[in-house]
Amino acid sequence: SVCTAAVCLFHKEEHQRSTKQSLLQFWLETQTMANNPSQLLPSELIDRCIGSKIWVIMKGDKELVGTLRGFDVYVNMVLEDVTEYEITAEGRRITKLDQILLNGNNIAILVPGGSPDPE
């Protein structure tokens, strides 16, 4: 179904609220597992996600869910088996991609194992 911009914005805000809770929960679980929680770096959290599903919320109106294959010090990422969600004036557009390289400057939030909707 086609959603209006207001409804899409509402859904995005709901996802962002649940995202904050998911990130906090993941971070707390990782802290518990780490040998020295005070020295755990964000890059170590991302490194633990390699080979797993990750939900990437970009700056703007794009979100992607895919399997993380790698990243660099700038958090540029390579994802495989990607589903891209984009909010447009016409509604929500979903695109399937085999592989994508994301520029780390455009990434706003990372959610390990997350997904905006059941697929």
| Share of residues in the chain with pLDDT > 70 (%) | 63
pTM: 0.65
The answer to the question of residue 62 being in a domain is: yes
CATH of the domain at 47: 2.30.30.100
Mean per-residue pLDDT, 98-119: 86
Higher pLDDT, 115 or 95: 95
pLDDT for position 1: 36
Mean per-residue pLDDT, 77-85: 97
The answer to the question of residue 58 being in a domain is: yes
The answer to the question of residue 119 being in a domain is: no
pLDDT for position 116: 64
The answer to the question of residue 43 being in a domain is: yes
The answer to the question of residue 75 being in a domain is: yes
pLDDT at 95 over 50: yes
pLDDT at 45 over 50: yes
Please count the structural domains in the chain. Answer: 1
pLDDT for position 42: 84
The answer to the question of residue 118 being in a domain is: no
Per-residue b or e along 47-70, where b marks 16 or more CB atoms closer than 10 Å to that residue's CB: ebbeeebbbbbbeebbbbbbbbee
Full domain range(s) for residue 48: 5-112
